[in-house]
Amino acid sequence: MGGVALDECLAGYWVHEVTLIVTVGCPKFVVQVSDRRFTRLDSRLPVPETEEGNKELVVRACDADFAISFTGLAALEGERTGDWLLECISDAKAAEAGFDACLAAVRAAADDTFARIAQRDGAFYHHTFVFAGFHHGAAQPRVAVVSNCESGDFRVGPAASTFSVQDISSARYPYHQAGMIPAMHADSKSRIKGLARRAPSYASVADLIVREVRLAASHAKYGRYIGKQCMSVCVRGSGEGEVEVEAVYHPTHSRPITYAPNVVNVFPAQGGGLGHMCAKDVQMLGGWPGGMGVGPSGTAMLDRRNLARRPPAP
């Protein structure tokens, strides 16, 4: 995840600012980029466990399409946090009730889960979930944060015993960064928001954020907590009910390619029979069901009509 690989290894020691998630929006689209490194602490030193972890969940709810990423613990009570998040939304049938129901479901489940972990380990651990997408028909993106450590001005403080929800959708160009923020270049935020304001394309904004994350990963002191392999999810809203989502994997040594994140979809009949699936299930099937509607750059695209994936080029 954007965090530590097994919460068991964190007893008595915690580094909360692990991984990097950057989210920026404008009236046309919202982009969320996360690195893919999972880290474990070995003798209090960060050791990369994998550079290919999945930290993104895409949700097609009844009233909105959006992505959720996270930073903090990579595993919750022995389960990968990405799978925990998928099951949280699915088991509560929150997507059937909408965006705000998903926020409430994640907050409630996180309160319960982190309370049990604290009872076991004697400490509360920092964790943040970032939601970003569009309500159907909306002309402005929706960005919200579920966190036990971020204050109203999004400064990170001590981990609290409960999670709270903060909504930053009122900003015309909402921006949020979570994780190893000290590794970010001082001008990164202004560069990213400046490009989003010009809104040349969602792909160009995603590419810039990936470059800024990789720059942060090269930081002499803090870069070891951040991976250079990245995942971007771009949600586009038309203001007329149509919402499209594209997920792209950005490897370090080749061009960006399509990649299947975890997905919760409340329109299975429109998505080739897809309901609640995780990336490993999709890979076993050889790609997304539905076989149509590939995005303009060959990326995985979800819209109100279909959910499809084209295999990456060899």
DSSP for 51-94, please give it: S----EEEEE-SSEEEEEEEEEESEETTEEHHHHHHHHHHHTTH
- Residue bearing the bigger pLDDT, 297 or 249: 249
Dist CA 180 CA 159 (whole Å): 15
Convert the pLDDT of each residue in 257-311 to its tens digit.
Answer: 767 688 899 886 544 333 444 443 333 333 333 322 223 333 343 433 333 332 3
Residues near 144 by beta carbon (within 8 Å), at least 6 away in sequence = 103, 130, 131, 165, 166, 167, 168, 169
Pair of tokens at residue 77: 């009570």
Phi, psi (degrees; rounded to nearest 5) at 28: -95, -30
Convert the pLDDT of each residue in 35-79 to its tens digit.
Answer: 887 776 655 666 666 666 778 999 999 999 999 999 988 889 988
CA neighbor of 178 nearest in space, from 86, 69, 36, 38: 69
Domains defined for the chain, CATH in brackets: 3-308 (3.60.20.10)
The band of 193, judged by pLDDT with boundaries at 50, 70 and 90, is: very high
- Residue bearing the bigger pLDDT, 254 or 238: 254
> Which H or E element spans position 190?
helix 188-198
Phi, psi (degrees; rounded to nearest 5) at 177: -135, 140
How many Å is the Cα radius of gyration of the chain? 18
Instruction: Please give the mean pLDDT across all residues of the chain.
Output: 78
Pair of tokens at residue 47: 């050791």
104 has pLDDT over 90: yes
How are beta strands 142-147 and 3-4 bridged, if at all? unpaired
Other Cβ atoms closer than 10 A to 280: 12
What is residue 124's DSSP assignment?
Answer: P
